[in-house]
């Protein structure tokens, strides 16, 4: 059990309050489809100048599945993902294409027919949020920034930020582990690591609700990594919050060795475990933003406010941890 006191004093936002006080009033329902479809999200990102992984192609119909090899021919590595997936479900990261077949990030080999079968399943809606028919996106496989070489196991770490009224509120780094099969989603066994919003430096990690100071497979320390492109990440997150009608938003980025930060997805119902990774609750930060919003007229002012107010240097004391 986590040593948090889940009461008002702890400032931990629970699921009911998240929905009633933040999501319902601030995220118009008609907009959910833009966040729930990664193809729509890519369009929004491109409009706002937010960088994304290049799309090699989209498979929409069962009879197009056999075109896979042709769609990905310019790159031996690529990612297959359901346009409307979530939680890492249905995502396959192919790190190389060889005569034996497609090599997953775990080293497992998929024969072309195995991958075709998987794409048929994506199209039938097996991984889709709505359970409806879906599309399969084929995109650039991110080569993660070397800063993560010692803390990522067979996959690409991502960075989740929560943005409220265009103000970055909290951030965490998520690291793939043996259990999470190349994906960084926490419920798959990925590691969440808090981030100091002021500096972009990592704090303590958490895996399966236990605090950890080293990566479970590589043994490398999790604390004190400086996330590259931190200001740019804050700017892109704030822009996504400010330039869309999502008042309360989760955004996921990856850091590519060559291309820098790339947006993976927007989440209109972001999870709450970011608070556990950061050992602090969202409520005091969200309430402070409500109070100060009238004074924060530009995106730059919002970013400066977030860094100064929520950064470790000025941070509220860590919550009751026994
Ligand atoms: N283009 C990509 N290259 C490499 N890894 C990726 C790519 N897209 C997704 N992943 C991995 O899969 C995880 C989940 O991806 P995401 O697009 O956020 O989908 P979901 O909505 O299912 O969480 C990421 O955290 C990352 O580890
Ligand atoms: Mg995600």
Domain locations in the chain?
Answer: 8-51+145-314, 55-139
Point out the ligand nearest to the CA of residue 82.
Answer: 1
**What confidence score (pLDDT) does residue 10 get?**
79
CA distance 311 to 248: 20
Point out the ligand nearest to the CA of residue 157.
Answer: 1
**What confidence score (pLDDT) does residue 320 get?**
43
CA distance 315 to 201: 14
Residue nearest to atom 21 of ligand 1 (CA): 86
Residue 228's closest CA among 261, 197, 251? 261
- Strands 248-256 and 78-82, sheet pairing: unpaired
Would you state the structure tokens that stand for residue 46, as one six-digit string? 């491109």
CA distance 32 to 46: 18
Quick: pLDDT tens for 198-244: 999 999 999 988 999 999 999 999 999 999 999 999 999 999 999 99
Below-50 pLDDT ranges, the chain: 1, 3, 5, 320-322
**What confidence score (pLDDT) does residue 315 get?**
60
Which residues sit with Cβ closer than 5 angstroms to ligand 2, an ion?
252, 265
User: Which of 81, 92, 106, 182 should be mutated for ligand 1, with most atoms under 8 A from CB?
Assistant: 81
**What confidence score (pLDDT) does residue 322 get?**
37
Would you state the structure tokens that stand for residue 125, as one six-digit string? 């809606």
**What confidence score (pLDDT) does residue 321 get?**
42
CA distance 158 to 190: 10
Options 3.30.300, 1.10.3470, 3.30.1490, 3.40.1000; CATH for 55-139 is 3.30.1490
Q: What is the 3-state secondary structure (H, E, C) of 232-264?
A: HHHHHHHHHHHHCCCCEEEEEEEEECCCEEEEE
CA distance 230 to 215: 22
Would you state the structure tokens that stand for residue 197, as one six-digit string? 């919003």
User: Which of 35, 45, 88 should be mutated for ligand 1, with most atoms under 8 A from CB?
Assistant: 88
User: Which of 39, 76, 254 should be mutated for ligand 1, with most atoms under 8 A from CB?
Assistant: 254
Which atom of ligand 1 is closest in space to residue 185's alpha carbon?
25
Residue 272's closest CA among 75, 50, 15? 15
Report yes or no: 179 and 188 within 8 Å, Cβ to Cβ.
yes
The SS3 call for residue 269 is coil
**What confidence score (pLDDT) does residue 154 get?**
85
Main-chain phi, psi angles of 67, to 5 degrees: -80, 0
The CATH class that applies to domain 8-51+145-314 reads alpha beta
Point out the ligand nearest to the CA of residue 184.
Answer: 1
Quick: pLDDT tens for 163-194: 999 999 999 999 999 888 888 889 889 999 99
**What confidence score (pLDDT) does residue 8 get?**
58
Which atom of ligand 1 is closest in space to residue 140's alpha carbon?
1
Q: Is 134 in the pocket of ligand 1 (CB under 6 A)?
A: no
If you measure from the C-alpha of residue 196 to the centroid of ligand 1, how many angstroms do you get, rounded to a whole number?
Answer: 23
Point out the ligand nearest to the CA of residue 183.
Answer: 1
**What confidence score (pLDDT) does residue 89 get?**
93
Would you state the structure tokens that stand for residue 59, as one six-digit string? 């498979």
**What confidence score (pLDDT) does residue 131 get?**
86
**What confidence score (pLDDT) does residue 246 get?**
97
CA distance 79 to 140: 6
CA distance 171 to 166: 14
**What confidence score (pLDDT) does residue 9 get?**
66
Q: Residue 164 is inside which H or E element, if any?
A: strand 158-164
């Amino acid at each position: 059990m986590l040593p948090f006191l889940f009461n008002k004093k702890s400032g931990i936002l629970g699921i009911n309050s998240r929905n009633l006080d933040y999501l319902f009033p601030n995220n118009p329902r008609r907009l959910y489809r833009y966040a729930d479809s990664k193809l729509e999200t890519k369009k929004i990102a491109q409009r706002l100048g937010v960088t994304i992984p290049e799309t090699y192609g989209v498979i929409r119909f069962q009879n197009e599945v056999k075109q896979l090899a042709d769609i990905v021919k310019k790159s031996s590595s690529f990612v297959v993902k359901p346009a409307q997936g979530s939680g890492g479900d249905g995502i396959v990261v192919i790190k190389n294409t060889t005569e034996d077949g497609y090599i997953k990030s775990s080293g497992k080999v998929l024969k072309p027919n195995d991958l075709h079968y998987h794409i048929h399943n994506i199209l039938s809606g097996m991984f889709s949020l709505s359970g409806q028919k879906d599309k399969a996106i084929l995109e650039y496989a991110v080569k993660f920034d070397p800063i993560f070489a010692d803390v990522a196991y067979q996959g690409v770490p991502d960075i989740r930020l929560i943005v409220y009224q265009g103000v970055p509120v909290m951030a965490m780094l998520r690291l793939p582990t043996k259990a999470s099969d190349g994906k960084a989603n926490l419920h798959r066994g990925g590691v969440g690591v808090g981030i100091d919003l002021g500096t972009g430096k990592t704090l303590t990690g958490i895996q399966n609700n236990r605090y950890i100071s080293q990566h479970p497979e590589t043994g490398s320390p999790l604390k004190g990594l400086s996330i590259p492109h931190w200001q740019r990440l804050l700017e892109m997150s704030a822009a996504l919050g400010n330039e869309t009608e999502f008042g309360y938003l989760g955004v996921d980025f990856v850091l590519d060795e060559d291309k820098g930060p790339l947006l993976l997805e927007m989440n209109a119902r972001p999870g709450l475990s970011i608070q556990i990774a950061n050992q602090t609750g969202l409520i005091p930060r969200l309430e402070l933003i409500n109070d100060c919003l009238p004074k924060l007229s530009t995106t730059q002012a919002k970013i400066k406010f977030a860094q100064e107010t929520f950064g470790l240097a000025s941070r509220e004391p860590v919550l009751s941890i026994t």
